[in-house]
Structure 1
């Protein structure tokens, strides 16, 4: 009986480890050397809606920094996370908004909850950030995530093996009794990271952002230089 119990425990442990590694493979990877990748995303429902995500992975610090840019190459968000044994945790967050003088102003966030991506967790988890918006005052941004399923999806003729999540967002005013909520389905491809999200806003707007190409840092710098002229 003891041998059977021990065997069952061993099978459970091995199965859990396998599941954890499998889910981890669908997220952004940290290699042996520092690496910079730029992902270009285009909204299928509005081809003018383009985003560039500059993802820098650093094995020395075990961290990944994601800088998000608008179609005109303006930095609008900064998101840094650290890899842990069971997933990644947010350690730095900032938004950027253009003020009346045309300057890109940085809005620093204070981390409240920190779970971004769990290697193996079927329960809902979240991260949240407090910040002071110049227009709307003190706000709390929360993102809740639940693992959905594995799914093969076709993007521009390329079939990706993905892990799909449901993400629920809430932006809550800490000074007024107001909040804004929306949700999306996010797809992470094996060995790549995020390749698509399908976002639903309460007014009926749907954003279907898909990966169209990956640029080198040199190519991206040339685009930024051209946009600044």
Structure 2
């Protein structure tokens, strides 16, 4: 009887920390509330304040999905990324890029999802998501993003202190028709109850982009400033 009790005790020792780790890291990702909500994250490049991105994040508890629509400084939609949350983490279910034609029109390029793993609640190993697509300008291509948990870190962004979990993200973009590859990497920081607050992206030519969360706007505020600046 004592052997059984000791065995059960050892099992609990391993199960409890694992469950806690799963809950803990999940709290750093974008949160889904009890009703559908839209928030617009304004990111500013620390190395070039004129470089601004707006990520319109829509969370829906009915479908357990997160839709992110990304806009450039001049409010041009350039990417759609939709994820679904499950017991293991966040998986991409829809992806599209938008290329700008010579006459300024947005051309939608729908991606075909190959690998789905965006953000795992429990995994210290490398995981990835990958997208195949056909670009009008560059032909058939593939984008692969591999992610590895790095560490927990306290950072400060625009005067606000955040407790974050930090990831190492490795990107590979393949142009299949001409055999060219483009690789870069970044460190991505997620804060509890908020989602991504910063990334540091390093390109092979030596340039660095450091997007930092400056503000979180309402959908109405975003619409107002986009209309004002598009005139």
TM-score normalized by the length of structure 2: 0.98
Determine the C-alpha separation between the residues in 2 that align with 1:77 and 1:96.
Answer: 6
User: 1:101 maps to what in 2?
Assistant: 103
1:49 to 48, 51, 59: 51
2:93 to 91, 94, 97: 91
Determine the C-alpha separation between the residues in 1 that align with 2:74 and 2:230.
Answer: 9
User: 1:124 maps to what in 2?
Assistant: 126
User: 1:141 maps to what in 2?
Assistant: 143
How far does the alpha carbon of each residue in 1:59-82 deviate from its partner, in whole angstroms, 9 at most, with x for none?
000000000000101100000000
1:175-190 maps to which residues of 2 (within 5 A)? 175-190=177-192
User: 1:71 maps to what in 2?
Assistant: 73
Instruction: Point out the more displaced range, 43-52 or 4-13.
Output: 4-13
Determine the C-alpha separation between the residues in 2 that align with 1:227 and 1:117.
Answer: 34
For structure 1, the 5+ residue unaligned runs are: none
Determine the C-alpha separation between the residues in 2 that align with 1:177 and 1:96.
Answer: 22
For structure 2, the 5+ residue unaligned runs are: none
Deviation at 1:14, TM superposition (A): 1.3
Say if 2:217 is the partner of 1:218: no
Determine the C-alpha separation between the residues in 1 that align with 2:214 and 2:17.
Answer: 35
Deviation at 1:2, TM superposition (A): 1.7
* RMSD, aligned α-carbons: 0.7
Determine the C-alpha separation between the residues in 1 that align with 2:221 and 2:158.
Answer: 22
User: 1:38 maps to what in 2?
Assistant: 40
Say if 2:163 is the partner of 1:156: no
Determine the C-alpha separation between the residues in 1 that align with 2:220 and 2:166.
Answer: 31
How far does the alpha carbon of each residue in 1:8-63 deviate from its partner, in whole angstroms, 9 at most, with x for none?
11121111110000000000001100010000000010011100000000000000
Task: Figure out how many residues of one structure are paired with residues of the other and give that number.
Answer: 229
User: 2:167 maps to what in 1?
Assistant: 165
Deviation at 1:98, TM superposition (A): 1.1
2:198 to 192, 196, 199: 196
Determine the C-alpha separation between the residues in 1 that align with 2:87 and 2:164.
Answer: 22
1:16 to 15, 18, 22: 18
SS in 1 for 2:228: helix
SS in 1 for 2:30: coil
Deviation at 1:101, TM superposition (A): 2.0
Tell me which stretches of 4 or more aligned residues in structure 1 moved more than 3 Å.
none
SS in 1 for 2:221: helix
